[in-house]
Structure 1
Amino acid sequence: MELGYAAAGLLVGFIVGLTGVGGGSLMTPILLWFGISPSTAVGTDLLYAAITKAGGVTVHNKQNHVDWAITGWMAAGSVPAALVTLWALSALHLSSHVLDSVFKLVLGVALLLTAVAILLKPYLMRWLHRDNIAQSDDPVVPKVVPTVLIGLGLGVLVTLSSIGAGALGTLALFLLYPKLPTARLVGTEIAHAIPLTLVAYLGHASMGNIHYLLVANLLMGSLPGIWMGSKLTRQLTDSWLRVALAVMLMVIGSKLVY
Structure 2
Amino acid sequence: MDLSFVASGFAVGLLVGMTGVGGGSLMTPLLTLLFGVSPAVAVGTDLAFASLTKGVGTFTHRMRGTVHWEIVRRLCLGALPAALIASLFLKHFGTLNKDIGQVIRYMIAGSVLLTVVALLFKRKMLAWITAHPERQLQGRALVIATVVSGAVLGTLVTISSIGAGAIGATLLVMLYPRLTSAEVAGTDIAYAVPLTAIAAVGHWWLGSINWSLLLTLLIGSLPGITIGAYAARAVPERLLRGLLALTLVAVAAKLVS
Which stretch shows the higher mean deviation, 60-69 or 247-256? 247-256
Q: How does 1:219-234 map to 2 (within 5 A)?
A: 219-234=218-233
Residue 190 of structure 1 corresponds to: 189
Q: How does 1:9-24 map to 2 (within 5 A)?
A: 9-24=9-24
Deviation at 1:98, TM superposition (A): 1.8
Q: How does 1:23-34 map to 2 (within 5 A)?
A: 23-32=23-32, 33-34=34-35
Deviation at 1:129, TM superposition (A): 5.7
Deviation at 1:124, TM superposition (A): 2.8
Does structure 2 retain, via aligned residues, the 8 Å contact 1:50–1:194? yes
Seen in structure 2, the aligned counterparts of structure 1 residues 2 and 116 have a Cα distance that, compared at 3 Å, is same
Number of residue pairs the alignment of both structures matches = 250
Which letter does structure 2 place at the counterpart of 1:34? F
Seen in structure 2, the aligned counterparts of structure 1 residues 19 and 117 have a Cα distance that, compared at 3 Å, is same
SS at match of 1:163: coil
Deviation at 1:94, TM superposition (A): 6.7
Does structure 1 retain, via aligned residues, the 8 Å contact 2:40–2:95? no
Deviation at 1:255, TM superposition (A): 2.5
Map Cα deviations across residues 46-75 of structure 1 (whole Å, 9 max, x no partner): 001111111111111100010011001101
Does structure 2 retain, via aligned residues, the 8 Å contact 1:15–1:22? no
Does structure 2 retain, via aligned residues, the 8 Å contact 1:85–1:156? yes
Structure 2 unmatched runs, 5+: none
Residue 198 of structure 2 corresponds to: 199
| Aligned-CA RMSD value | 1.9
Residue 117 of structure 1 corresponds to: 118
Deviation at 1:250, TM superposition (A): 1.1
Map Cα deviations across residues 71-99 of structure 1 (whole Å, 9 max, x no partner): 01101100000101111222235762122
Which letter does structure 2 place at the counterpart of 1:74? L
Does structure 2 retain, via aligned residues, the 8 Å contact 1:112–1:254? no
User: Sequence identity, in percent?
Assistant: 43
Which letter does structure 1 place at the counterpart of 2:84? L
Deviation at 1:254, TM superposition (A): 2.2
Deviation at 1:127, TM superposition (A): 4.2
Residue 209 of structure 2 corresponds to: 210
SS at match of 1:178: coil
Deviation at 1:23, TM superposition (A): 0.9
Deviation at 1:34, TM superposition (A): 0.8
Which letter does structure 2 place at the counterpart of 1:121? K
Seen in structure 2, the aligned counterparts of structure 1 residues 66 and 94 have a Cα distance that, compared at 3 Å, is closer
